[in-house]
Structure 1
């Protein structure tokens, strides 16, 4: 799994897909960031513009209220007449009332702001009232009733800001002075202030609302409907986003009164502030989103699929399917050229592989014959030496037995070519070999065979067991102690397949460490010294026959001697036997 994952990450398809994805992600990030920044800039500019506009309107409203304060102050300067209203002399009160009435009318006539001026004496119940034409008669009556009902009885201070009061369902700003039981009052309609603030040319997406501190609407300007907005407004913050889910509200306090001025805009109107270039960026971002599937599909069709087809073709060749052809229809000219070259290469590989395979078979046959011949020569020298020795001892019966065993041995050896033989035939040959060695070394040999009956007919390479038995006599045989050899053959498995396991153990000193390392840990056994060449040839023979390098293992058994383990794949063995026959 790790190898497949690593190969996938190193593939051109993965790198191309990753690179395209990274580029698209960066592009989207840039476009989204640019759009968000553009919206932020436009939103900030909209808020700043609204704030600047409201400052102008607030300045006009504060100026109007200051003018109304000037009118109130002008009336308050007539302190003598105001004080005379509480005189016990009726005549004096009458003339004071007449003069103050004229003063009120004069101030109302010249004032552009004040809608009503009133003087009310609590002790005698005298109410002097003068109003502008902006007040209806009903509003005048209601205002007088409100003043008599208790408005004038409130405690008013000179430094109080303008407050608000509702009269006949209209909202008024009110400011008053107290003079020893007499109250001077100024009233200004909220609508008058909005008119004097010169609020006009508002779009259908904007509304300006004058509210009290609690957010209750006092007056409005603009054509936008606020039916989906609930009052009182939560305009205690300077900027409120998503008001009623679709409005932007910017609010500012008035300096001269307990009131706030708020501008309400539709959120979508903010987008109208985007410039030409910013709209181009937004459109490009939207277009890019729709282009991504097309680009991915195009890259998949023109690059990724052809590359995958070549990868599949390469893997098919690796698996030995030399007849596989890559279909190049529909791909670009470059990939068609690559596919045609690949198909031509596959055909050429098939032709060359057949030729090379035939040459390799002939070469392996010759090499195996050479390896087999390398195993045999020293035996003849040993046999001749034994016969020669026995003649000096006049052991004619032993000589006869030895020559009889030798003839059987030679017939087995000279079968010709490389042979696969049944295990029981190799065992009989080894027993004959032991017979000859017992004549050479009387009472010095002990051997045991443990062979499962089910494997006696399994095929193995000729001399595969004999070579190691002969090595035991060459390197483990001593005159001081008898030589013990144990041979066990049984069924086993190798890499999940049926196999025959051959174990050969002797009582010698075992294998040198150098030989153990070279045979078990290295594929190259050609560096073994001359008298160990038999082991090298056996390993090479097994490798050539079964295409595996783990069939031979040698080791030393503590307190015993050398141990040889040989694994023979039964299916491979059967196949080779058939081929050789």
Structure 2
């Protein structure tokens, strides 16, 4: 009982060995049984198997014939070029329709590989159109065309409405053909039975096996001639209702076509079926004996190749479960898949270690960035200047302006403190920027003016917060002076760049512009933050755009003419 309890029933090794034994032992028993029984049933099995092959082939052939019939009927009923051929009154119209119709047939011909050619004949013009999949010799073409023209003009009839392919003998060869008439135009297709029969590969069971196409009256029309016994040939021609029968000489199989008046017959001589039975019996006994030695060897190989690498991987996982991330699977000779798995496992552990460090550092950096962001946005000079303006307005008792300034300040700081999203709507960003400019208007009376143009349909577009404000604030700080009035303009629109839609934000002022040195650094994305923190906002925007849009969003800086600065922001919309 103690030994049984130690067996790891749920382990891969136990399940793998058990599965192999469950699969191999019944196979060995089956070989022993089948070895004694094979000689009695092999003949009927071959016949049944061959019957399935024949049935499958004929079903495929009937599907191909039916598809061709449907195509012919559809072309007659629906194709404009065919209707033009039928109803054309001038030679020019007829020639053009003929060219277009032939082009249509050539395009569709590869889809109907079973047929040799599409065939169109217009009685009134005595004109024949042939489009070939398999082109016969020129003299044979003339014989085939002459025969079918004579047949259609004198013998063709479809009063029965059976829509079957009919067999025809032209010279020494047999063909099956299908035609439909509309007006004075015949349209159809024909197939060379010898070529069709040559595609059948079911005579591989022996050199004396063969297959034949026969007509409804028993005539052999095309053959893969293997049997030389005339009695078997005669027997083939007399088969009527039986699908197959086991004669004294051969297994003979017949499969009728649903869509034509032909049948396919195959014959396999008994000597071909039974000639390998003694050899198979000896091979079966050898296989049984060999399997008794092979099974232990296979189990050993499986253990070495599959199980031992898995055990090592399981061992490593147990170390990880115990929080030992320093453990690594040592290199050893194994299959390429396990080598890749072990390397990937070790690399994954290294990445997890590094990730833990990166996450810790990221938390610290994030806190630092949030603090720095607050420092950047809550400018004490801006706040104090606003309070001074409020004080001056209070002394003047200009309560309307006080209310307006206070409301703008409230909205400004609400946006700064409450908005922690990665993206805001363009409408909110423009509103925040407008509040800032209203405050600055009260500070710099009549020293600058501004316009902000944003189409209504773009107001819900999502952009990073403080994107526009940063550059407007930079323009106010560096461009506005008491010497002359300047203009600040903001315009947002959609443009096409690199075959893709981009949101384009233009911030233009009429101040002094950028120095050449600063302009070079800005366009080359160099760090330009000085000790006083100037241009920190621009660096922050450039960095955020790179991270948020995977390098697809970018900034462009240049000087305006005759003076001033232009900043353009390009954000992909797709």
TM-score using structure 1 length: 0.37
**Higher gyration radius (CA):** 1
TM-score using structure 2 length: 0.38
